[in-house]
Amino acid sequence: MHLISRPLHRRNTVEQMSAVGPESLLIALVTAGFVGMVFTIQVTREFINFGAGTAVGGVLALTLSRELAPVLTAVILAGRVGSAFAAEIGTMQVTEQIDALHMLKTDPIDYLVIPRVVACGLMLPLLNVLGLLTGLLGGLVISTNMYGITSTVFLNSVRNFLTPWDLTSSIIKAFVFGCLIAVIGCSWGLTTTGGAKGVGQSTTTAVVTALLAIFITNFFLSFVMFQGTGSALAGGL
């Protein structure tokens, strides 16, 4: 309701988008790249033994898009950004800066929370897509150099297996996770009490709560999006 009925603080939103996106980009890409390489190492030799080496790229693409890319990117942001939100707003709360905002007739939700929610909701899907591409690149490097699977075979497998819905579901998950991380981090920050010790407790609790929320929400989203029998493997082999 705040986002719909109140004007958005654009400068705060841009600053938070910078903190969530560009400043988290390197660690998100490095993580996705190595996850893609490790997954390829674990899967490729087993698939080759079963005569399904041509399906490696497609299986990696499905795994990254549906689960690994959005979940791992969200986990990274929960630890890096969610904790920062809780610590920053918690410090403002215990030092009475939040009360000062009230005195200035500025709603802390509009000024502090909404820009962070918007920033995470917009930037995490973007980081997710870049992480997906990086993970596929890592898998391509390993499959071509270690297992002799040509880049053409790998990329054709990705094209045959991956559907627009897989990419859409990945973006939806990332958006939901981003909003969860921001809301949880800001909520624990705004309810901080007890001085410096309370800030530390709120920061830790915010990260743990965000991680649990990500994993639980991921189950329900996956159940809704992918329940029933699938046809991706049958169509790609």
Tell me the H-state helices in the chain. Answer: 2-5, 10-20, 22-49, 56-63, 69-77, 83-94, 97-103, 108, 114-146, 151-161, 164-190, 195-226, 232-236
Q: How confident is the model at residue 104 (pLDDT cuts 50, 70, 90)?
A: confident
pTM above 0.85, yes or no: yes
**For position 227, what pLDDT does the model report?**
76
* Per-residue confidence (pLDDT) for residue 232, from 0 to 100: 57
DSSP per position, 186-211: HHHHHT--SHHHHHHHHHHHHHHHHH
pLDDT band, very low/low/confident/very high, at 69 (cuts 50, 70, 90): very high
Gap between the Cα atoms of 124 and 6, Å rounded: 24
Residue 12 has a pLDDT of: 86
- Going from N- to C-terminal start, the domains of the chain cover 8-221
Provide the pLDDT for residue 154: 92
| CA triple 193-191-28, angle to 5 deg | 110
- Asked if residues 61 and 161 have their Cβ atoms less than 8 Å apart, the reply is yes
pLDDT tens-digit readout, 120-157: 999 999 999 999 999 999 999 999 999 888 999 999 99
Using CA atoms, how far residue 141 sits from 50, 59, 106, in Å, is 22, 15, 52
The answer to whether 184 and 90 are in contact (CB under 8 A) is: no
Q: What pLDDT score was predicted for residue 101? A: 82
DSSP string, 51-69: T-GGGHHHHHHHHIIIIIH
